[in-house]
Structure 1
């Protein structure tokens, strides 16, 4: 087997791999010897089939396997000996298309090698971490929001009419064709007007009513209603409005805290402070990470694989085009041309991606199974009722798991650099942090 270099320009590499006919024949022979003890053919005992007959029977099929295995082995040895790591899957083509048994196999292999990423002194990097202490006013605002979410209802004046958003307490009896039907009656039922918890048209007819009024609510059950005997039928509900209640925020006290799983109001306040601190810290980290990436982009320079840059530029152009044309959901659109601006941004992303990947490799930074599983579960919660299906999909799809794993890996490498860099904390206001985040999103 022979590997001959035919191109070595920049990061571009090309080689010719030659596997001789004798090497192929020897490999087929090895496979036949390995299989012989288990082969059983008519007229021969198991393991006693002559080698010549085995070769005639199975040699052609094994020849294809031998060719593939020989080329794969030559490629693997080349990458091991050269230390090259291809940016993409190498392109492999058989040059002698008129090949026949007894000929050597000649294959051309080409690829772009990943560049050598130079070491950098991260201790020279100076970063500023914005620190925001949760203000009591922010805690109070959060408490008010929780109180509104856990709203109570208080009785309106007897003369006041119900409004959208009010709660009416009603007795009702539903009839179809003059006959009451099962499940169509209730007493002291609390119904929030505008909640759309009843069939369409029901709640609207109870707006503008006062406590003590009796109302006939006329509706039609939807055609796709769950109960087949009611689907599409007209119905009349005899309703008595027993109370009309206006929404009111819950009291900010220990009872409110218990509704949200805290033992007391003080404990709830402390949880809010911790949550706000975590939010501020996350925002400050995002700002500091962008500053770090800017520093790294200036600090390190090396040759980039053109194919990687072109692919990234096309992806950026495609993403921006869809952001500018949100009505186009699919990809049935004209080809999108990349610009110099797209290429410049692509070069930055590829450079930083290769730098962080190489640093993570050298420092043996990895994402463990527990971290990956936790990240998948966090994303699964965004699909209520379908968490199990999402989790199973992620477990069966390696490419999707890689998409989830990539940002975790990047953040762990960034944290490693943070530890080496000179980081100074600066106490700022919430407004100053929000401004920094806005500027970040505008870049």
Structure 2
């Protein structure tokens, strides 16, 4: 096997790999000899089929396997000896593949872009500022009011039902004058504006009063779950029994118990803790951006053009869909990348390579438990199909990498946070919110 360098410019590499016909033939004979004891063929006892007959019968397939194994072995050996790590899958082409015949040398070309050497970074020299926000009494009180509204009850009222009121009613649904299964109920409490009934139903009960009978005319959606009702016109004969207005729960010990706390003081403490956890998460995002900015300024190295180009295309594609939200598929023309896309891509590639290097040196790993949790979080977006989603992820390496990458990045970032010099600065909720908004605008 002969490997000859044909290109070495920057990060671009090119090689010609020659597998002599004699080596390929020897490898084929070796594989046939390994298989011979198990081969059965009519007219011969098991393991006694002549080598010449085996070669005639299985030679073409074995040649292909031997050729692939030899080339793969040569590539693996090259990367081990050179220390190169390809930025993307190497491009391997067989020379004269269409005219090659048994007995010829096998010649292939291999080209790739090598990952660059990543310079050392003195992480301890990095200075970062961490914004700290305390949960003020006003914020806690606002949160308690929201909890009280969520735990609202309803009390009887006089007069017509308004949006947000609850009507207690009996109803019978009919299609073509016939009541249908599941279309009737008694003493049913319906909050107007909750959108819990089919479109157009609740709006027609606004203005209804206790004791009133009302016919509600609706049309079931075309995609309705019950096929025999989908797209059908229906009439619901409703008898309004009560109209109730919403009443927020009192902020007291009883409210606290509804949310699992012993008393109001304990609920306030829980709310304050939750708020500060939210503030801390937002502050971490701001500090992470600050870290990435510092790392971006601290290093400079050549970037693989293929990675930058692929990332720029991805950025352009994502931004195009954000500007065209009505397009949900990818049946659109090619999206041109701009200088701005390329500049952002260079930053992302540079930081991605640097974080990968830091994580590798620090032996940062994503655990099975962390991956399982990430899959579970994603699966919640597909209610009723969680199992199918789990199976899909298990069989899809690319999806696994998409879930693993942000976990790995955050663990590397936390590792750097521990080494960097971090000073805390107490700020208001508004200042933190402004900093977060600036992140979203960039």
TM-score normalised by structure 2 residue count? 0.91
Q: 1:440 to 1:106 in 2, by over 3 A?
A: same
- The answer (yes or no) to whether the contact 2:219–2:231 under 8 Å persists in 1 is yes
Query: In 1, Cα distance between the equivalents of 2:51 and 2:398?
Result: 44
Q: How does 1:195-210 map to 2 (within 5 A)?
A: 195-198=194-197, 203-210=202-209
Q: 1:181 to 1:106 in 2, by over 3 A?
A: closer
Q: How does 1:89-100 map to 2 (within 5 A)?
A: 89-97=89-97, 98-100=99-101
Q: Say yes or no: does 1:329 pair with 2:328.
A: yes
- The answer (yes or no) to whether the contact 2:355–2:409 under 8 Å persists in 1 is yes
Q: 1:207 to 1:398 in 2, by over 3 A?
A: same
* TM-fit CA distance, 1:102: 0.9
- The answer (yes or no) to whether the contact 2:171–2:236 under 8 Å persists in 1 is no
Q: How does 1:59-78 map to 2 (within 5 A)?
A: 59-78=59-78
Q: 1:269 to 1:236 in 2, by over 3 A?
A: closer
Query: In 1, Cα distance between the equivalents of 2:330 and 2:135?
Result: 45
Partner of 1:43: 43
Q: Say yes or no: does 1:246 pair with 2:245.
A: yes
Q: 1:8 to 1:186 in 2, by over 3 A?
A: closer
- The answer (yes or no) to whether the contact 1:200–1:219 under 8 Å persists in 2 is no
Partner of 1:278: 277
Q: 1:216 to 1:435 in 2, by over 3 A?
A: closer
Q: 1:340 to 1:196 in 2, by over 3 A?
A: closer
SS at match of 1:302: coil
Q: Which moved more, 1:178-187 or 1:127-136?
A: 178-187
Q: Say yes or no: does 1:135 pair with 2:133.
A: no
Q: How does 1:224-239 map to 2 (within 5 A)?
A: 226=226, 228=228, 232=232, 235=235, 237=237, 239=239
Q: 1:255 to 1:110 in 2, by over 3 A?
A: same
* TM-fit CA distance, 1:200: 5.8
Q: How many residues align?
A: 439
* TM-fit CA distance, 1:359: 1.3
* RMSD (Å), alpha carbons: 2.5
TM-score normalised by structure 1 residue count? 0.91
SS at match of 1:323: helix
Q: Which moved more, 1:307-316 or 1:250-259?
A: 250-259
Q: Say yes or no: does 1:4 pair with 2:24.
A: no
* TM-fit CA distance, 1:140: 1.0
Query: In 1, Cα distance between the equivalents of 2:296 and 2:436?
Result: 20
Unaligned stretches of 5+ residues in structure 2 = none
Query: In 1, Cα distance between the equivalents of 2:231 and 2:81?
Result: 74
1:407-434 deviations in Å (ceiling 9; x for gaps): 1101111111111111111111111111
Unaligned stretches of 5+ residues in structure 1 = none
* TM-fit CA distance, 1:205: 4.6
Q: Say yes or no: does 1:168 pair with 2:176.
A: no
1:46-89 deviations in Å (ceiling 9; x for gaps): 11122222222222221111111111100000001111000011
